Amino acid sequence: MGFDDFARAYTGFFKVLTLELGLKCPITCRHCCYNCSPDRVEEVDSEIMKSAIQQFSEIETSEIVALTGGEPFAYPGLLETALEEVTRFPRLKSVVISNGFWATSQEKARDTLENLPPIHQLCLSTDVYHNEFIPLAFIKHAILACEALDIPMFLEVCIEPEDSFQGTLKKALGNDLYERTFRLSTSVQPIGRGMDLNITPKRERNNVLWDSCFMAGSPFVLYDGTVVTCCNCTRLRGMASKSMSDMCGSPLEMGRISQSKLQDIFLEMNKDMILQALRTMGVGGILKLLAETGTYPKGGPSYSHVCDLCIALLTDPHIVSRLRGLLTSQSYVEEIALKRAYYYGEAIEG
């Protein structure tokens, strides 16, 4: 499975399910969006995790289970169980997102990967923040071990505040390895410790999420079994005593694995007009809609990133309720259907 397969699935609807194994991580990056650290004790119940994978496999669109944390390799038992579970379902592939802390030598990296059930793709996060804790030599060991074991991999490199890290990376990996390793550029997300960095995004209005949030189609299961719409929604946990969906019908939180069937959550997300508006009109389109109908609060909510704005809007009960009303209009229903067909090739009934 190449990166293209992952990216294609990730921009689709309910093709990728991301599972958070826990919040423990051996390092404490300054930009970490989930506030992970060695002291975090939260972890997923293995039965909930297995149930989520099994239920996901029964959904017609399912393709990839992405395992994240915290640091998945800091949970060797859970990681092995999750990978074994994925292997039970031939339609599913696994992607593991790691910082490579375990790749202390090339032999150790190879042993670690060889002793696990198949990983279909490994994503290694490395950038100026991770590099404060994880030497680039570890990343090199992990890449070479993946090559030796024929495990497709890519690097996820946060390029904010600046992209100078690429030069450091090139020097550490050597030209050949650098050039043949796929590198995905990402931004600092304004969540967790990342929020404290106060980085102004470089390409705010150019960001595709402004016009069409492709990430809203790939749900994220938190360690406690809560299904949220995307990784950005992890900031909702602990924000209030009641869940967001109970509070205001926000489409950002879709239920719990222990209480709802994933198939029902899939059907619910498929017909949730706010969620589908997010995917097809983007936050920008939603903002325009609110402005045109006089609902947008005067001055607007303050935000530094498009995801910030999304959370501000879609956790406001007044705005959520107004949007629910506006989006019943036939013209919006049709616009969303046309854009789902055009952007995502999704067949719409009716």
Partner 1 sequence: MGGGDYMERRARAGARLSPSARTAKIKGVLDAAMKSGNIAAAISEAGADLSAQDKTALQALTSSELRTMASVQQKLTRIRGGERAGNNNNFY
Q: Which of the ranges 15-23, 107-115, 118-126, 208-216 carries the binding residues for partner 1, by CB under 8 A?
A: 208-216
By CB atoms closer than 10 A (0-12, 13-18, 19+), residue 316 is: middle
Do 70 and 22 form a contact (C-beta atoms < 8 A)? yes
Contact characters 126-165, partner 1, x per CB under 8 A? -------------------------------x-x------
Q: What minimum distance in Å lies between the beta carbon of 349 and partner 1?
A: 5
The answer to whether 207 contacts partner 1 (rule: CB under 8 A) is yes
Range 179-217 burial, b when 16+ CB lie within 10 A, else e: eebebeeebbbbbbbbbeeebebeeeeebebbbbbbbbb
Q: Which is nearer to partner 1, 80 or 334 (CB)?
A: 334
Among 1, 42, 137, 183, binds partner 1 (CB under 8 A): 183
157 bridge partner residues: 185
Q: What minimum distance in Å lies between the beta carbon of 208 and partner 1?
A: 4
DSSP string, 291-342: HHTT-SPTT----SSHHHHHHHHHT-HHHHHHHHHHTTSHHHHHHHHHHHHH
Q: Rg of the Cα trace of the chain?
A: 20
The answer to whether 175 contacts partner 1 (rule: CB under 8 A) is no
The answer to whether 203 contacts partner 1 (rule: CB under 8 A) is yes
The answer to whether 2 contacts partner 1 (rule: CB under 8 A) is yes
Could you tell me whether strands 153-158 and 183-186 are parallel, antiparallel, or unpaired per DSSP bridges?
Answer: parallel
The answer to whether 215 contacts partner 1 (rule: CB under 8 A) is yes
Tokens of 56: 């996901």
Do 209 and 307 form a contact (C-beta atoms < 8 A)? yes
Q: How many residues bind partner 1 (CB under 8 A)?
A: 40
Among 39, 150, 176, 349, binds partner 1 (CB under 8 A): 349
Closest by CA to 52, choosing from 98, 21, 10, is: 21
Which residues between 299 and 338 bind partner 1 (CB under 8 A)? 331, 334-335, 337-338
Q: Which residues bind partner 1 (CB under 8 A)?
A: 2-4, 7-8, 11, 157, 159, 166, 182-187, 189, 203, 206-209, 211-212, 214-215, 282, 331, 334-335, 337-339, 341-343, 345-349
